[in-house]
Structure 1
Amino acid sequence: MLERTGYPEAGLPQPSDIKTIDLARLVSLVRRQGLVLASCVALMLLLAGVYLTLAPRSYVSAGQILIDRNLEQVTGENGTTSTSATDLEAQVLNQVEVLRSSRVAKAVARAENLMTDQQFLNPPPSFSQRVRGLVGMGPPPRPATLEATLDEVVGMLRANVQVDRMGRSSIIRVGYEAATPELAQRIARAYAEALLQDQLNAELEATGAAADWLQQRLAEIGESQRQASLAIEKYRQETGLTVGQDRDLTTQRINTLSNQLAEAQAETVRLRALSAQLKSVVEAGPESASNYVSLLGGTQADPAEIAALRNQVATLASRIGDVEAKYGADHPQLANLKAEKAALDNRIFALLQNLDEQYRTQYTIAQEQETGLRADIDAEGHSAGAISQEQVRLNELQQRSDALRSLYNSYLTRYEEAVQRQSFPIPSVRIVTDALLPENPSSPRTIIIIAAAVIAGCFIGAVIGLLNELRERGFRTGAQIRQQLGLRFLGYMPRLQLDAARPDESLRGAVRTALAPRMGRRWGAPLAETLKTTRLLLQPVADRGTAVLGILSVLPGEGKSTVALALAEILTASGARVLLIDADEGAGSHSGLPVRLLPSQLGDWRKVAAADPETGLVRLSAASPEAGSGDLSSVAMQKVLAEARGQFDYVILDLPALGTVVDAFSVLPFTDASILVAEWGRTPRRVLRTMLEHEPELADHTIGVILNKVDLGALPRFTELGGIERFAYRGERRRIGSGKEAAPN
């Protein structure tokens, strides 16, 4: 038996038949679905052309309006007041809603007399109306509208007006879409003027209402202020008080007495300190009186006398010190000096005693003065409390009168400002750009419509192409065979167009033509290369003896009979002895091989085998009694295969489809190898892979897979970048064979 070549990538798990699409797969997908994409794009472009032809033209004219609150402050005092970002945002949004309101729309309708404007009331029919009119499904054309109500016109205006804020600025874009450029410009300008006039009217109304209210309040406040003044005068007459006068006098007297009391307290403290010091000096006696001569400086004594006393004290002290230093303490002159110093001390002591008497007298007087001031302050306090209640009431009346006077002055100022603004109103908006006459229609936009059609066509085409790819369940390339089945790929068999009347001769001619020299890249090359590859695989077995080969397929009608016959023809053409057994009972006429049912008395299969006199190919039908009457597991079939091994180089069995009957599995043990035939793009990958997974003996017995009925012209589109099929079969369109009536392979 031939050794089977395995491919490791087939052992990897296969999550689904559709793997992740990479760049190469994407390019291949586009190549395969290019016609679908082009058709969808062309269809969408056609629809876009129809829309551009039937859709009515519309024009948009727009102007720009600036919202500037500083204009209102030109005549005011706070003209430099800044507006916060939040307030500015609210102002702009408010004006946007005002422009969209029915109030402004009514003003525009009245200003332009749109209720009877025929151009405005009778726009051209829409795209849908024109389409329904063309197909005859729409209502009959309505007569022209001569006049409309104000509410109807307002609804039309609000439906077509365009109000947008320009970025984050204070500028509002106001536009209108109409059937003609002139009408669009006229209504857009009318909207701007209507907003300006609405602002003026609103300013006048608000200012007038404020002035009237202020005038009423001024009258009320003036009367209240007059009543408050009368109440003050009446209370003054009843109490005899003046506002703040008596209280101020009392307060001044109390303040004066308080200051005097503070001075008296300070003098008392000073005298008490001096008196205490002199008292201590007097109590010390006259011996140390000379040491306190400085205390006499603050008295009324003669300063010259005091200075003389200081000099005498200093002179005596100096002389006593000199004598003691020179002559000692026993010198007679020292006694005279001490006697003189004692007389001087007595004199100073007498002066200090007099000064002590003076300070004690002054201290007593200061205490009495302090006591008197305290009594005066208490008396003034009691006097002030007696009039405090009446004074508080008078102050309350005066404060109320002052408050009413201030309020009256404030309202009077605001009233004058309101009257001034009534005479000179300034709106908070101004037109910065007038609406111009549009030159080109705003819709339909040709470039955008065409671009949208192309994008939509590409999207729809991509969806349809993706659905086509998802529906793709068959094998298209040899790489898929190797990757998903792990089997050797033997080659492509192009779709053969055989003559139904003579299929054998047509196939034989096709094989001979394919084997002709210098075929190059023509249609015969894939057929010949596939058959040659199969022959080379079988050659080692044929060299050792007869090679018994089974031709299998999963589903009927995949062309395995044609492959078997073509392989037999090429082997016969190479000089080998070949026996072709038609074991596919259900093939019937589809196989292209004759079913021979001979009398049962003929027991030798060689007698019922038919030999082609031209090529020498021997064919036998397994349905004959000599071959087992179609029972592939019968002794007769085993006998045929055993006897054929000694007489033929190759025995080829055209076996039934694996998915319908089990006869093919019964004869596999008697064959050397098998070849699977899968129809290009038709045999489900999952079915074939499941069959091989459930029947491992079949997978081990199979030496390769042939893709049959291949469209060589379409094959490059299913090949990834770098695949040999992209270059080897480019431009192939021809099918083998001729004839008016064809039999499929």
Structure 2
Amino acid sequence: MLSPDKVSAHADEDWENAGAGDTIDVERLVAVVRRQWRIVAVCMGIFAILGLVYILTAVPKYTASTSVLIDRGNSQIANQMQASVAAALPIEDDASVLSEVELFKSDSIGLAVVDKLKLLDIPEFTSPARSPISMLRSLLNFRTWFASDDVAADDIDTLRHNAADKIVADMDVDRIGRSYALSISYTSTSPELASKIATSIAEAYLVDKLNSKYDATRRASEWLQERIDELKQKALDSDLAVQKFRTAHGLLSTGGQYQLLSDQQLSELTTQLIGAQADTARARAKYERVKSIIDNKRTDAIVTDVLDNSISNDLRKKYLEASKLEAEISARLGPDHVQAVRLRSEMAEYQRLMFEELNRIAESYQSELQVAQTREKSLQDSVTQASSVTAAAGETQVQLRELERTADTYRNLYQTFLARFQEATQQQSFPITDARIITRAQVPTAPSAPKKPLILALAMALGAAFGGAIGAFREYRDRFFRTGEQVRDVLSLEYIGHVPAIDAKEAGSGNKDPESVRGLQNGNGITNYVVNHPLSAFAETMRSAKIAVDMENTSTRCKVIGVISCLPGEGKSTIAVNLAQLLAMQGSRTLLIDADLRNPGATRAIGRHAEQGILEVLLEGRPLKDVLLLDNKTKLAFLPAVVKRRVPHSSDLLSSSIMVNMLDELKAHFDYIVLDLPPLGPVVDARAISPMLDASLAVIEWGRTSRRVVRTTFAVQPEVMQKCIGVVLNKVDTEKLKLYRSYGSGEYYYNRYSAYYHEA
């Protein structure tokens, strides 16, 4: 069981790992590359070989290119020659250029090239592809078995279209930059044929452009001719309808326009009425002016007719002279002088006569005003009468204008279509296209395919991708324990160390004691590896386990240690035997008990010759001293498990009071008791005996046992795992272990402290 300090340490480590997970772990990626680079290299090599085979066996192909310019200048010249406004559609945008590209891929171009070069006589265009699928399809076509040698017209047409499709498939049309030039490339196994077909494609394009323009113009001319005849008749009918309407309603021609008589009269009367109103206003102004002068007795006011009247002028002159003389006499002799009084009476007479003359002028102005008003009233009555007549004739005018608009419309359409018809007729006479060939195809001297460097690079890239996929899948499937960090992170248990995988031949033949049936037999040398190699990494890991046991149970005199694993075959028995050997070799009284009553691995390894064991002690009451085996070198005692028949209730037997009494008896004679327990996964024996344990040591096979199954199995065994001092990774491949190391881990510095180990 982990102490609180260890749990806290694991929590801190988990927090650090969680924070590191937010970014890309470059070190982990590098480690993945180091582990899987061989797979990637092998796949790259295989694909490179396949690429070389393809390069060596592929038929070389040659590509010839020609260039066509969509020339807008020719269209402008043609338009000038034709004096036409409607020119060929200029190419001004990308959509138009792409339309021209698609035109090269049309059936009309392909069939024209096939017919011009007689490509049906060339086997390349008539023979089917020699692939296994096409050959099988031809064999399954039963109609070809009984077909005659004569080729029908339908078959020839099919061959022509197939050849055209092949031309389109082997042709490549691209726009050159942002210009109006198009590059046409054709690829074939024959360089001469590639050049001919590329040139023929460009020429067929020009001919197709000419033909399409001629056909379009011809169709437009025919359509225009039909519309012209129709519009001509409609224009005549509309003009005739206008003329009949004019005659029926008495329309007269005045200044090029046709009006009703009432309209013309109304216009003239309105003009006269406006003049009469002006005359009336002028007469009223003159009369009111003279009237205001008379009413105000103003002798100094000026009136035009007074200035032209001699009587008024003489009276005014006399009035002024008398006024002047009166002023002088009054100033010299006084205003009451006889002469001054006489002069003032004369001035009054002159003034009376002047106003009498103004009254006569006012009477003439009044007469003029009355005449103007009478004339204005007469004209107003005439305008009113003419307006009523015009209002009554409004419907007639609306109909007339509608008929005139219809006639004008048909007349304009007729003239427009005549002009267009002349333009279309002229365009048929000038077969000028808006495209030309600017670069003719040359016979290629070097093959364009296969591109050997590109194919080889692509093959290697595909190999790398395939190998990377395999490596990624292997990494995804690699869900085993590889490092101590994984043990701590996944299981939250202490990592004791790892035990390298040992070859039986390198471990030695072991030792056998044939003279004594009570001695241990180490047949393959692995079971006593720590004895023969005390300075090895194997032995150092066992020492770490011993220290962990001692630190976990410092107050206990005899320590009962259970060695467990999750699955069978993980090397649990080997670890248990070597741990017991190490404890005994260090001078401790040590007993090894094979508690796996169903599959006694320790007994098969070192006590195969035993005839009695723990079952006889528990079931038959045999004395322990009669069944124990002893290693003469390390003084290790071993209680085997001789299974002569199936034990159906092994868990009950291990958890029985007899087993408890036996362990209590053994604790008085030994310092360490190591129990080789059954795996936790398949049976519950280890769980049953867990209350008797002081500590347990978990063994996990490196790179073979899934982390998920270990985590799940340990989670359902809380009684056993609470006493677990740590985990030992067994059968570790030290060379591969380097590939899983990370910076700062124990595996990273393994090469530095491996000098302390001596396997010899």
Task: State if a TM-score over 0.5 links the two structures.
Answer: yes
In structure 2, the residue matched to 1:135 is none
Partner of 2:303, secondary structure, is helix
In structure 2, the residue matched to 1:573 is 585
1:705 matches 2:727? yes
1:201 matches 2:215? no
| Kept in 1: contact 2:510–2:526 (CA 8 A) | no
Distance 1:650 1:533 in 2: 15
In structure 2, the residue matched to 1:642 is 664
Give the counterpart of 2:103 among 98, 101, 107: 98
| Kept in 2: contact 1:189–1:435 (CA 8 A) | yes
Offset from partner CA, 1:375-427 (integer Å, 9 cap, x none): 99999999999999999999999999987776665455444433433332221
State the shift of 1:236 in Å.
11
The amino acid across from 2:309 in the alignment is: A
State the shift of 1:193 in Å.
0.9
Q: Is there any run of 5+ residues in structure 2 with no aligned partner, and where?
A: 138-149, 512-520
331-340 or 664-673: bigger deviation: 664-673
Give the counterpart of 1:534 among 542, 545, 549: 545
State the shift of 1:214 in Å.
5.3
Give the counterpart of 2:61 among 38, 53, 58: 58
Offset from partner CA, 1:185-221 (integer Å, 9 cap, x none): 3212211111111111222233344455656776787
State the shift of 1:647 in Å.
3.5
1:591 matches 2:613? no
Task: Describe the shift of the 1:42–1:248 C-alpha distance in structure 2 as closer, same or farther (beyond 3 A).
Answer: closer
1:74 matches 2:77? yes
Distance 1:155 1:323 in 2: 135
State the shift of 1:341 in Å.
1.0
Task: Describe the shift of the 1:94–1:128 C-alpha distance in structure 2 as closer, same or farther (beyond 3 A).
Answer: same
- CA RMSD in angstroms comes to 5.3
Offset from partner CA, 1:641-698 (integer Å, 9 cap, x none): 3344343333323233333444434444444322222222233333333343333231
The amino acid across from 2:542 in the alignment is: L
1:295 matches 2:314? no
In structure 2, the residue matched to 1:555 is 567
Give the counterpart of 1:546 among 558, 571, 578: 558
Give the counterpart of 1:352 among 355, 358, 374: 358
State the shift of 1:488 in Å.
2.1
| Kept in 2: contact 1:481–1:488 (CA 8 A) | yes
Task: Describe the shift of the 1:605–1:131 C-alpha distance in structure 2 as closer, same or farther (beyond 3 A).
Answer: farther
Give the counterpart of 2:459 among 442, 453, 458: 453
In structure 2, the residue matched to 1:511 is 530
360-369 or 310-319: bigger deviation: 360-369
| Kept in 2: contact 1:104–1:194 (CA 8 A) | yes
State the shift of 1:481 in Å.
1.9
1:714 matches 2:732? no
In structure 2, the residue matched to 1:138 is none
Distance 2:243 2:686 in 1: 135
In structure 2, the residue matched to 1:140 is none
For normalisation by structure 2, the TM-score amounts to: 0.75
Distance 1:425 1:511 in 2: 103
In structure 1, the residue matched to 2:470 is 464
Identity of aligned residues (%): 33
Offset from partner CA, 1:57-112 (integer Å, 9 cap, x none): 33443434344556323243688999999984554344344322222222111221
Give the counterpart of 1:107 among 83, 107, 112: 112
In structure 1, the residue matched to 2:517 is none
539-548 or 467-476: bigger deviation: 539-548
Distance 1:404 1:314 in 2: 82
Distance 2:40 2:136 in 1: 27
State the shift of 1:224 in Å.
8.4
629-638 or 455-464: bigger deviation: 629-638
Partner of 2:432, secondary structure, is coil
1:335 matches 2:348? no
In structure 1, the residue matched to 2:717 is 695
Give the counterpart of 2:704 among 663, 676, 682: 682
The amino acid across from 2:728 in the alignment is: I
State the shift of 1:43 in Å.
2.9
| Kept in 2: contact 1:5–1:703 (CA 8 A) | no
Task: Describe the shift of the 1:439–1:721 C-alpha distance in structure 2 as closer, same or farther (beyond 3 A).
Answer: farther
Give the counterpart of 2:172 among 162, 170, 181: 162
Distance 1:543 1:227 in 2: 131
1:490 matches 2:509? no
| Kept in 1: contact 2:252–2:259 (CA 8 A) | no
Distance 2:555 2:288 in 1: 157
Q: Is there any run of 5+ residues in structure 1 with no aligned partner, and where?
A: 133-144, 517-523, 739-745
Distance 1:468 1:230 in 2: 96
Alignment of 1:633-672 (within 5 A): 633=655, 637-672=659-694
| Kept in 1: contact 2:481–2:705 (CA 8 A) | yes
Distance 1:216 1:454 in 2: 69
In structure 1, the residue matched to 2:41 is 38
1:24 matches 2:27? yes
For normalisation by structure 1, the TM-score amounts to: 0.76
Offset from partner CA, 1:169-194 (integer Å, 9 cap, x none): 64444333322333223212211111
| Kept in 2: contact 1:633–1:666 (CA 8 A) | yes
Task: Describe the shift of the 1:205–1:547 C-alpha distance in structure 2 as closer, same or farther (beyond 3 A).
Answer: closer
Distance 1:193 1:238 in 2: 67
| Kept in 2: contact 1:2–1:672 (CA 8 A) | no
Distance 2:384 2:37 in 1: 117
1:185 matches 2:207? no
State the shift of 1:260 in Å.
5.9
The amino acid across from 1:61 in the alignment is: A
Distance 1:715 1:697 in 2: 32
Alignment of 1:155-304 (within 5 A): 155-165=165-175, 170-211=180-221, 243-244=253-254, 262-275=274-287, 278=290, 291=299, 294-295=302-303, 297-298=305-306, 300-302=308-310
495-504 or 699-708: bigger deviation: 495-504
Task: Describe the shift of the 1:481–1:191 C-alpha distance in structure 2 as closer, same or farther (beyond 3 A).
Answer: same
In structure 2, the residue matched to 1:428 is 434
Distance 1:530 1:567 in 2: 9
1:475 matches 2:492? no
711-720 or 166-175: bigger deviation: 166-175
